[in-house]
Amino acid sequence: MSYVVGIVGATGAVGQELVRLMRERNFPLSQLRLLASSRSAGKTIQVGDEKIVVEEAKPGVFADIDVAFFAAGGGVTRALAQDAVAAGCLVIDKSSALRMRDDVPLVIPEINPEQLQSHGGIIANPNCSTAVMLMGLWPLHQTFGLKRIFVSTYQSVSGTGAEAIDELDAQVRASVAGEAITSRVYPHQIAYNCIPHVDTFGADGYTGEETKMAQESRKIMGLPDLKVSATCVRVPVLRAHSIAVSAEFERPVDLTAARAAVAAFAGAELIDDPANNRYPTPLECAEHVRCGVGRLRIDTALDNGISFWVSGDNLWKGAALNAVQNAELMIREGWLAAKAASAAV
């Protein structure tokens, strides 16, 4: 069986990765519909041997679409997801708009795939940094029982979008040429710099990204009382996020068992041989299905603690790949037949 698939936000970075991944993974497509804002409607995008005209994403366009991947931001999700569900379309949403709603499952297929069966028409994709971090943390939790985590992220500019990639490139070129450096996307120069400011600051001093990592980790892992302290930092890397994690567990930890758990986990690749300079890096992990996990060591400040480093592609596991994997699993298990269950969310 094949499906009519729509991509909302098809001209953006994640939308283009969705197009690429569905082709590379032989997703069962009968038709691909590319949707975007009125500004992009009418453009033509080459997809393999086919030229597809971009349609405007608006109410009424979802009637013949089986699955719609939303990759256009929370405002678009709030405006159009209801209409898509009412038309019988399954929505898989990248934005943060609906992630924390009790009636919307937030799913990483390697961790909580059973949640895919309880959707009411919408499935949420986790935040990019959360998804990458949990590829290293989940197998350790299953082995030792997670209690609390302290995390610092090193997030690439592609997480902000194509304009941030262009800004980093322009700033590097300007620096080499001895020209003035200007910043439009970020509040400070990103070239040769680190900015501890991802999303907006809340009244508690934490940014939205830091709050998302805490809230989403609790929901996905089924640990409502998990203690999380996060600091999220934008770094001058083009693609793939990295995260340093110090985690405390309920049970005594053992490095041999920890490495074995990570190596056996479907979402992770163990890269942990510091003596030979083998550990994950963003360059190495970009455009990889699995996230690299390494630098595993006993934490010296926490009881029953392990520290580790994880790198993963924010445009893949942190966005497009996770969404496609969720859709693939629903098709494989026959759950897609329930996409029109009940009325709109």
> What is the spatial order of strands in the sheet that 3-8 belongs to?
55-56, 29-36, 3-8, 67-70, 90-93, 122-124
Q: Which pLDDT tens digit goes with each residue over 322-339? A: 999 999 999 998 888 644
327 is in an annotated binding site: no
218 is in an annotated binding site: no
62 falls in which pLDDT band (50, 70, 90)?
Answer: very high
23 is in an annotated binding site: no
158 is in an annotated binding site: yes
314 is in an annotated binding site: yes
234 is in an annotated binding site: yes
Distance CA 309, CA 271 (A): 10
What's residue 341's pLDDT? 42
User: DSSP 3-state assignment of 24?
Assistant: helix
CB 42: neighbour CB atoms within 10 A?
11
Task: Please indicate whether residue 241 is annotated as part of the active site.
Answer: yes
Distance CA 71, CA 51 (A): 21
223 falls in which pLDDT band (50, 70, 90)?
Answer: very high
Q: Would you say residue 221 has pLDDT above 90? A: yes
- Per-residue pLDDT, averaged over 207-213, amounts to 98
Q: Hey, what domains does the chain have and what are their CATH numbers?
A: 3-125+319-338 (3.40.50.720), 129-313 (3.30.360.10)
Task: Please indicate whether residue 197 is annotated as part of the active site.
Answer: no
Distance CA 253, CA 80 (A): 47
Q: Which pLDDT tens digit goes with each residue over 15-55? A: 999 999 999 999 999 999 999 999 999 999 999 999 999 99
What's residue 142's pLDDT? 98
CB 257: neighbour CB atoms within 10 A?
13
Q: Would you say residue 344 has pLDDT above 60? A: no
What's residue 337's pLDDT? 60
Find tokens 């009968």 and name the residue: 30
Angle at 147 between CA 142 and CA 152, to 5 degrees: 95
Say which residues have a Cβ less than 8 Å from residue 334's Cβ, sequence separation at least 6.
none
Q: Which pLDDT tens digit goes with each residue over 166-186? A: 999 999 999 999 999 999 999
Q: Which pLDDT tens digit goes with each residue over 258-293? A: 999 999 999 999 999 999 999 999 999 999 999 999
What's residue 336's pLDDT? 81
End-to-end CA distance of the chain: 27
What's residue 334's pLDDT? 86
13 is in an annotated binding site: yes
User: DSSP 3-state assignment of 14?
Assistant: helix
99 is in an annotated binding site: yes
Q: Which pLDDT tens digit goes with each residue over 298-308? A: 999 999 999 99
In terms of DSSP bridges, do strands 241-249 and 305-312 run parallel, antiparallel, or are they unpaired?
Answer: antiparallel
Bridge partners, 297 (sequence order): 307
Phi and psi at residue 6, in whole multiples of 5°? -115, 145
Distance CA 125, CA 91 (A): 10
Residue among 128, 232, 285, 291 flagged as catalytic: 128
Q: Tell me which long-range contacts 281-284 makes (C-beta under 8 A, separation of at least 24).
A: 281/242, 281/311, 282/154, 282/156, 282/237, 282/239, 282/240, 282/241, 282/242, 282/311, 283/240, 284/311
Residue 266 half-sphere exposure, CB side, CA atoms within 13 Å?
9
Residue among 89, 119, 141, 241 flagged as catalytic: 241
Instruction: For the chain, give the number of residues.
Output: 345
184 is in an annotated binding site: no
171 is in an annotated binding site: no
